Amino acid sequence: MLKTAVMVSGGGTNLQAIIDAVSEGRIKGVQIVRVISNKKDAYALQRAAKAGIGSTVVSREDHPDRREFDEALLKALDDSGADLIVLAGFLVVLPAEVTRRYAGRIINIHPSLIPSFCGEGFYGLKVHEEALKRGVKVTGATVHFVDEGCDTGPIILQRAVSVEKGDTPEILQRRVMEQAEWKILPEAIELIAENRVVLKDGRAEIV
Ligand code: GRF
Which residue type sits at 138? Answer: V
Closest CA to 10 of 89, 85, 87: 89
Angle at 201 (CA atoms; ends 107, 181), nearest 5 degrees: 25
Please list the helix, strand and coil fractions of the chain in percent, rounded to the nearest 5, in that order: 35, 25, 40
Whether 7 contacts 90, CB under 8 Å: yes
Supply the pLDDT for residue 20.
98
Q: Indicate the top mutation candidate among 177, 182, 184, 189 to test ligand 1's pocket, ranked by most ligand atoms within 8 A of CB.
A: 177
Supply the pLDDT for residue 36.
98
Supply the pLDDT for residue 159.
98
Supply the pLDDT for residue 124.
94
Span from the CA of 14 to the centroid of ligand 1 (angstroms): 6
Supply the pLDDT for residue 118.
97
Q: What domains can you pick out in the chain, each with its CATH number?
A: 2-206 (3.40.50.170)
Whether 154 contacts 204, CB under 8 Å: yes
Ligand 1 closest atom vs CA 16: 14
Q: How far is it, in rounded angstroms, from Cα 188 to Cα 158? A: 10
One digit per residue, pLDDT tens: the chain, 207 residues? 999 999 999 999 999 999 999 999 999 999 999 999 999 999 999 999 999 999 999 999 999 999 999 999 999 999 999 999 999 999 999 999 999 999 999 999 999 999 999 999 999 999 999 999 999 999 999 999 999 999 999 999 999 999 999 999 999 999 999 999 999 999 999 999 999 999 999 999 999
Q: How far is it, in rounded angstroms, from Cα 118 to Cα 109? A: 11
Q: How many helices (H) and strands (E) does the chain have?
A: 7, 9
Supply the pLDDT for residue 90.
97
Q: Indicate the top mutation candidate among 19, 32, 109 to test ligand 1's pocket, ranked by most ligand atoms within 8 A of CB.
A: 109
Query: Using CA positions, which residue lies closest to atom 9 of ligand 1?
Result: 89
